Amino acid sequence: MAKPALIMRPASGADILPYAGFLADPEVTVWLDDTAQVPISPARIEAILLREAWCLWALEHEGRFIGVTSLYEPDLARGCARFSVVIGERQAWGKGLGSLATRNVAAHAFENLGLHKIVSDYLEPNLASKKIHQRAGFTEEGRLREDAWRRGRWVDRIVLSLLAGEWRDARK
């Protein structure tokens, strides 16, 4: 029996320091939210991973912790939540693992949680994030022009969403 390429599991205390290491790498954090542009303490990472997250999974590939994915800021009255994925282990980049995690989270959101909509965004120079969202079926809803300062210039934030009906139609 082949081992799954990606395992999604609950985060644990053992993930805190490796995730802190990922968030200390400027090549990992450059396209993340502004909150990741300053040092984040292990205590704050522990709170995020183990206590504050609504739906968060640690990602493993070939027996190694490589990052996290989550649904957060749920608005259950509207059936909506925000989505994020961070592949922090550089050796795992370019293997389709972010796309696989995104599809798995969408399936959970729509099949198990009964959500109507998942919202996400990325900074436009991040082509990997653009591909991850496109492969999962997200639709661009808008652009926040010059919304973040990265690498010495202003960059646009692309806002996207995936609706439950679109996701179901794409699976037929």
Q: For 56-98, what is each residue's pLDDT tens digit? A: 999 999 999 999 999 999 999 999 999 999 999 999 999 999 9
Q: Which CATH class is domain 7-171?
A: alpha beta
d(CA 168, CA 172): 7
d(CA 87, CA 112): 24
The pLDDT of residue 25 is above 90:
yes
Q: For 132-166, what is each residue's pLDDT tens digit? A: 999 999 999 999 999 999 999 999 999 999 999 99
* Token pair in block for residue 154: 């202003």
What is the residue extent of each domain of the chain?
7-171
Instruction: Provide the mean pLDDT of the chain.
Output: 95
129, 157 Cβ separation under 8 angstroms: no
Sorted by sequence, the CB contacts under 8 Å of residue 7 that are 6+ apart come out as 59, 60, 61
Distances (CA, A) of 4 to 14, 104, 125, 170: 21, 13, 31, 23
76, 37 Cβ separation under 8 angstroms: no
Q: Residue 94: left (phi > 0), alpha (psi -120 to 50), or beta?
A: left
